[in-house]
Amino acid sequence: MKLSDYQREAAKTDQFPTQGSDGTGQPSKAELIPLLGLTGEIGSLLSEYKKLLRDGPVHLRFKDRLAEELGDTMWYVAAVATKFGLSLDDIAAANLEKTANRWLHPGERQSYDLRREENERLPTAFRYEFRYGARADGAPAVALVDERGRQIGDMLTDNSHEDDGYRFHDVMHFAFVAILGWSPVARKILDRKRRSTPRTNEVEDGGRATVIDEAIVAMVFDYINHDLKATDGMTRIDSETLRGIRALTRGFEVQSRTESQWEEAILRGLEVWRLVEANDGGTVVGDFGTRTFMYAQ
């Protein structure tokens, strides 16, 4: 049976079939009854499971009762959807898309640099070192150095009253390069902006995208409470944070990356960032083709 067919048939047995809100913002009996019924059925489901925990095999009708309570829950879900003019088919499709985005791990990730000249491509494989040096004013700062020993981009400090390791935050931008194939900040550092396509250069590689890239790193750093040591053994990023990141990137090419891919990039980046900070520098190695990003002292 299709969900739409079930929803239509369920509506025939609704004793308060009024649809939609009256526009006053005040709850109506027709709306409240299925909402409260849905809450009650969840309680009934838990009650049946409690009996199973208590009685074990003696609870012979557990599956029958579970099926009945699930059916009642479905009826109330359909009723709530109908009251507010929603389609169960649409709800189910949207939910599957949402959960796939969060939990499935797509094997293929198309590069955003296909058919670009080498000087406009982010590196698919790279090796960079974070090394201390002295700024023009003599103050110590971290430099990003390529395999030939050449400095890339500006030297960085924590820009903070406390030593919190943020001077190594470019690690995260390169984690995004390795796992997502994206980072406007890395493009700027490496001088790989796509200038041959002015619109792409302006939008995808421009100031707004760069600010978003930096904002995501700052958001992640705030998420871990500025404590890199606490990320040791971290295996998950909460869904609210991932949704916030995807909301920031809406309208940009990287919106094609899923929450699952963002989680992978952030976790890999934090792991390497923690090791770089603990060792006060070191080498990072990434490969977009194999989806790897690691620390090499």
Domain map (residue ranges) of the chain: 3-103, 118-296
What mean pLDDT is predicted for residues 24-35? 82
Considering the chain, what percentage of its residues have pLDDT values greater than 90?
A: 84
Using the predicted structure, report yes or no on whether residue 105 has a pLDDT greater than 90.
no
pLDDT band, residue 22 (cuts 50/70/90): low
The better pLDDT of the pair 28, 258 is held by 258
Instruction: For residue 270, give the nearest of 180, 176, 172 by alpha carbon.
Output: 172
In which residue are the tokens 């009854």 written? 33
CA 267, CA 19: separation in Å to the nearest integer?
A: 46
Instruction: For residue 37, give the nearest of 79, 84, 3 by alpha carbon.
Output: 79
pLDDT at 132: 92
Yes or no: say if 34 and 79 are a contact pair by the CB < 8 Å rule.
Answer: yes
The fold for domain 3-103 equals: Helix Hairpins (1.10.287)
pLDDT band, residue 29 (cuts 50/70/90): confident
pLDDT at 19: 64
Rg of the Cα trace of the chain? Answer: 26
Which range is least confidently modeled, 49-53, 138-142, 154-158, 192-196?
138-142
CA 225, CA 137: separation in Å to the nearest integer?
A: 31
CA 7, CA 21: separation in Å to the nearest integer?
A: 19
What mean pLDDT is predicted for residues 29-40? 92
**Residue 21 backbone phi and psi in degrees, to 5:** -85, 155
DSSP 122-187: PPSEEEEEEEEEE-TTS-EEEEEE-TTS-EEEEEE---SSS--SGGGTHHHHHHHHHHHS--HHHH
pLDDT band, residue 28 (cuts 50/70/90): confident
pLDDT at 232: 97
Using the predicted structure, report yes or no on whether residue 296 has a pLDDT greater than 80.
yes
What mean pLDDT is predicted for residues 75-90? 95
CA 203, CA 193: separation in Å to the nearest integer?
A: 11
- Reported as a single tens digit per residue, the pLDDT across 115-154 is 999 999 999 999 999 999 888 887 889 999 999 999 999 9
pLDDT band, residue 199 (cuts 50/70/90): very high
Using the predicted structure, report yes or no on whether residue 94 has a pLDDT greater than 90.
yes
Q: Which residues contact 174 (CB under 8 A, 6 or more apart)?
A: 126, 128, 183, 186, 269, 284, 286, 293
pLDDT at 281: 96
Name the β-bridge partners of 134: 140
pLDDT at 27: 72
Instruction: For residue 113, give the nearest of 13, 51, 184, 212 by alpha carbon.
Output: 184
What mean pLDDT is predicted for residues 235-251? 96
pLDDT band, residue 23 (cuts 50/70/90): low
pLDDT at 266: 98
What mean pLDDT is predicted for residues 26-38? 88
CA 248, CA 267: separation in Å to the nearest integer?
A: 19
What mean pLDDT is predicted for residues 33-54? 94
pLDDT at 134: 82
